[in-house]
Structures are given as C-alpha cells and as structure tokens.
Amino acid sequence: MAIEIREAFDAETLERIFRFRYAVHVEELGKGGDAIDHARRMMREPADDHATHFYAEEDGRMVGCARVNAGREAPLPGPYRAWLDMAPLEATLGEQRMTLTSRLMVDPSYRGRTLASLLVLRLYAHGLEIGTDADFIYCEPNLLRLYYRLGYRPYRAAIRPDGTALRVPLVLCLRDSAHLLKAESPFAMMLPQAKDDHGHTAQLLGKTYTGFDPSPPCLQGDLRTLWAQLADGLTRTAERRSLLDGLEEAQVDRVLGAAAALSFGRDEIIQHRDERRPGLGLVLSGRLGVGLPTHDGWHWLEILGPGDVFGEPDAPPAAGRATDLVALEDTRVALLSENLIARTTERDPTLAARLAINLVGVLRQRVDDLHRRSAAWILQERGRLTRQHTIPPISSMGSQGGFVGRDGV
C-alpha cells in the first residue's frame, strides 16, 4: 500500500483536513485549544486562509496533515508571529524568506510507520522550492531533541500560546549544510550544494536573538528510530498516566528507594521478547523502544519516555513476551521490586492502593490506545477491500503528482 503526500487545493479537501485535525487533536489525543469547533467537529483558524496545506492519504483515507504559512505569499499570521517573536528577524532577513510550519498531525494508528517521515521530508522540499531560509515552529518539550536532530534550534524562552500548554519555539535554517550534517539531519542529503548559505542565516539569528543556540544536543540513533519517536510523540495522548501520579515526595522516595536503578547504553536490550522473567520498571531518563525484531534492527511499536512504566507486575505469558524492550539512547531505569503492591500493602496500605489505581490507569490507557489503533486499522482495511471492487487499481490511475512512499520502515 502506498502513502501519498498531496497538496490541498479545493474547499472539499480543506474541510476534510479540518475534520481530520479535530478527530486526531480532540477525539484521539484529548487536547483542546481556541481553534476547535465542536458543533461542526472541525479544527480551523484564520491562519488556514492563506496557507499551503499538505495531507497524507492511503487508499483514499486521510492519515496525516501539515500547514505552511509563507511570508512571500501573505503576511505571517499575527498570533503566531507574536508568540514566536518573528518580527526582529523580518527586519534583517525579510519576511519573504521566512515560513511557519504548524498543525503537523498523524493518525495514531500509523505510529511506527513511514508517515511522519514522508510528511516532514515533503515539508522540507517545499521550503527549498519556495526559497525559504528560516522555518519557525513550536513543539512540546518532550519532542525537543527529535527536532534538534532534524536541524531545528532554539532561539528564545518557552511560551504558552494557548494559555496553558508549554511549547518551545524553534527555527530551522534550511540551507545551513554544515549544521544539517553535524546534526545528522535527513535534510542534509536533500540540500543541493549550490543552495548552501554557509551559515549566513544562522549568523543573523545569533545576532538577532540572544537565546539562539547554534548547536543543541541532538537525539542519538538511526533514522528509523528518529521517525518512530517523532510519530510516537505526535500521537501521544494529552494525559499520559504514570505509576507515580498523585504521590507525595516521601512516597515517591519510598517506592524508588526499594528499586534497583540501572543504566543502559544505546541498543542494549532490557527485556527480551521470549523471556518469562517477571519485572516491572519505570523509565527515569532517556527513551526505550518496544519493538519487533527485523532483519536489520527493530520495527518500533511504541516509545517509552521518563515516567512511563514497562514490564508486567506478574509473570509474562507462558510463550514469553512478544516484543523486545531496547534502549534508544543512554537510558536510566528503576527496576521495581517483585510483588510491589503486595509488599507495600503490608507496610502502607494507602500507598499500595494509590499504586494499584495508577497501575490500572496505565494499563487501561494502553488498552484504549490499542483499541483505537486496531479500530482504525480495521476501518482502513475494510475501506481498501471495498474500493478494490469499485475503482480501478491505483497503478492504472497514475500518481497524479503526489509524493509517494511505500509502507514500512
């Protein structure tokens, strides 16, 4: 099956994008914001009126989208311009050389697939096509090192654009070949040598913003891991449950004090897929990947970060685990004591009850995520089978100028 990245030109497709945003942002991830129209089940705002919209489609089903506002086409949208403090650079670089990328969303059921990479690469190619020197975004703090790996850099303090959620403004110098190569960005191989600005835009940013960091720490790992982590970060629910939710500092110390803290380097396996040894753990720092082994590594199903729980409170199934648990970077974990809740009940029944409630919440959230992804996959396959009997095969229709990628990483 092929995923195509297309540009939206007609009102019908734009409405599909706005409804897709609502489905992902509100219904799937439980997030809010001022641009939400619950009555029409759409997510639309004034910045959409003068933007270029990209969307990802597979077998007629929309599975991703992104928006680009370009200063060469219309004034950059006022609220974003203020939040991101873009005016100072306009005076030196010029608004026509600046863009704003926002509303990048992917269907949660496409976590671990090529969708995020295809969208992001198409956005970069578009920036080169229209002569962009600096692209601005803001992202959630947990995605920072992912965007650093793409080549984005911080330049000012964190903001709260909707009044509540914390976001970090970032900027990408599209034609800074040296930095893209240093960050091991996938964009580096797409930049023609003739378009290299030899760090000119970065120098302007350094003179314009005192907070500009010319070389932030980048995420470790290969491109497969990068895309998997980006897709996971974009599809995380607004409220990620943790085993330690609602605990007082002394209670947290009591739980972690009985745990064994271990460090793992990149690509070390914490839990093998076939082992039956029980074990419940907590990620303290770094990232772990839950993956199925392939001939050249792993296919990542989920990414776990600080605060996330892994393993089982009891022994795994008789056949062993179905996946490997692998460190994606230098990672520190706390391996909790066996029969944690039962042992805690003897000494502190209140704490044990809180841990049990939190553990049930973590497991329920994961089951809910699995159900949503399974339902989306079933609907996708049902639609694909139906269309096979009602329309000619894609190969006879042509790509119609779309940006096409094969499924799988």
Residue 374 belongs to some domain of the structure: no
Let me know whether 28 and 88 are in one domain. yes
Helical H runs in 272-348? Answer: 340-347
**Considering the chain, what is the average pLDDT of its residues?**
80
Q: Is the per-residue pLDDT at 132 higher than 70?
A: yes
- Phi and psi for 398 in degrees, rounded to 5? 85, 165
| Neighbour-count burial of 28, counting CB atoms closer than 10 A to its CB (0-12 exposed, 13-18 middle, 19+ buried) | buried
- pLDDT class for 110, splitting at 50, 70, 90? confident
- pLDDT class for 161, splitting at 50, 70, 90? confident
Let me know whether 202 and 56 are in one domain. yes
Q: What is the pLDDT of residue 272?
A: 79
Select from 190, 209, 234 the last residue of a domain: 234
Select from 201, 234, 267 the last residue of a domain: 234
**Selection from 16-25, 226-235, 241-250, 291-300 with the highest mean pLDDT:** 16-25
- pLDDT class for 222, splitting at 50, 70, 90? low
Nearest to 190 by CA among 201, 176, 203: 176
d(CA 203, CA 283): 38
Let me know whether 342 and 230 are in one domain. no
Average pLDDT estimate for 393-407: 43
Which one is predicted more confidently, 212 or 369?
Answer: 212
The pTM (predicted TM-score) of the whole model is 0.66
Q: Is the per-residue pLDDT at 135 higher than 80?
A: yes
Q: What is the CATH number of the domain that holds 85?
A: 3.40.630.30
Which one is predicted more confidently, 238 or 262?
Answer: 262
Q: Is the per-residue pLDDT at 396 higher than 70?
A: no
Q: What is the pLDDT of residue 379?
A: 58
Average pLDDT estimate for 220-226: 60
pLDDT (tens digit per residue) in 247-290: 787 887 777 777 777 788 888 888 877 766 666 788 888 888 88
Contact 221, 266 (CB under 8 A): yes
Q: What is the pLDDT of residue 395?
A: 39
Whole-angstrom CA distances from 175 to 27, 97, 153 are 38, 12, 14
d(CA 199, CA 179): 8
Q: Is the per-residue pLDDT at 179 higher than 50?
A: yes
pLDDT (tens digit per residue) in 314-367: 665 666 677 888 888 888 888 876 677 777 887 888 888 888 888 787 777 767
Q: What is the pLDDT of residue 30?
A: 74
User: Which residues span the domain enclosing 269?
Assistant: 249-369
- Looking at the structure of the chain, the number of domains it has is 2
Q: Which two tokens stand for residue 352?
A: 């044990």
Pairing of strands 98-106, 61-70: antiparallel
d(CA 112, CA 261): 29
Q: What is the pLDDT of residue 170?
A: 95
Nearest to 153 by CA among 185, 126, 121: 185
Q: What is the pLDDT of residue 361?
A: 79
Let me know whether 202 and 262 are in one domain. no
Residue 395 belongs to some domain of the structure: no
* Total residues belonging to the chain: 409
Strand order in the sheet with 324-327: 269-271, 324-327, 288-294, 297-304
Contact 270, 326 (CB under 8 A): yes
- Between 177-181, 293-297, 385-389, the lowest mean confidence (pLDDT) is in 385-389
What whole-number percentage of the chain has pLDDT above 90?
34
Let me know whether 169 and 264 are in one domain. no
Counting Cα atoms < 13 Å in the Cβ hemisphere of 25 gives: 24
Q: What is the CATH number of the domain that holds 332?
A: 2.60.120.10
Q: With residue 226 as reference, give the H or E element that holds it.
A: helix 223-234
Q: Is the per-residue pLDDT at 113 higher than 70?
A: no
Strand order in the sheet with 260-264: 260-264, 331-336, 279-285, 309-312
